[in-house]
Amino acid sequence: MNYQALIEAFSKVDYTNIYFILSASSIIFNPLFWNIVARNEYRNKTLTKIFKSPKNGCYFLAFVIFTLGIVRDLLFGKAIQSDNECKLFDSIGIKVIGYICLAVGGILVYSSMYTLGIIGTYLGDYFGILMEKRVTGFPFNICDNPMYNGSTLNFLGTAIIGKSCAGIVLTIIVWIVYEVALRFEGPFTSMIYANRDKKEVKKPTVTKQKSKKIN
């Protein structure tokens, strides 16, 4: 590969393009939004109070996050369309890599959603709807964060197929944002389940006395 040509191609990315800016802003905003809302929900039960139950509040947040994800993906697509095609990606081998990324990414994302369900996928534990035990089946048995890893691969595959250096740069932003988000989400989620376990340990055990028959 001609690394000088690659450097030159990325140097031509228009970082002032409105769709690039909007796409990058959306990529950064979404995890920031759902982490702030979810933590507020854990502490103050705002959505639970508004929608009268934790489950309804979680469904509403799921709808908002899903909608924001669609907007983010549309903006990402626009950023790729408005970018100049990079001839370095114009080969069968590179295109195959792009489709492999999309295939693997799609499997990771959709299998994660199937395994966790809507509530498990969309931060149900912050609403107090906790899973009984850690999920260890596919795809969680091959990577710790299949949802984020799969999403990143989807962005990468789309950028490669679209022959877009701007798309590659935005994918790097996606990866960085997810890595930062995990630094906050992982410990906080562990704390939620640790608190649950402590409460269960403190529950008094009730011993049932056997009734005696009187002859």
3-state secondary structure of 137: coil
Alpha carbon distances (Å) from 22 to 79, 107, 165: 8, 28, 16
Contact 167, 159 (CB under 8 A): yes
Q: Is 103 annotated as a binding residue?
A: yes
Q: Is 185 annotated as a binding residue?
A: yes
As a whole number of angstroms, the distance between CA 215 and CA 139 comes to 61
34 CB contacts (<8 Å, ≥6 apart)?
61, 65, 123
As a whole number of angstroms, the distance between CA 61 and CA 58 comes to 5
Q: Is 105 annotated as a binding residue?
A: yes
Please say whether the dihedral angle defined by the alpha carbons of residues 87, 93, 96 and 101, taken in this order, is positive or negative.
Answer: negative
**58-73 burial by CB neighbour count: b if 16+ within 10 A, else e?**
bbebbeebeebeeebb
β-partners of residue 85 are 164
* Residues making up the binding site: 103-105, 185-186
* Residues making up the binding site for S-adenosyl-L-methionine: 103-105, 185-186
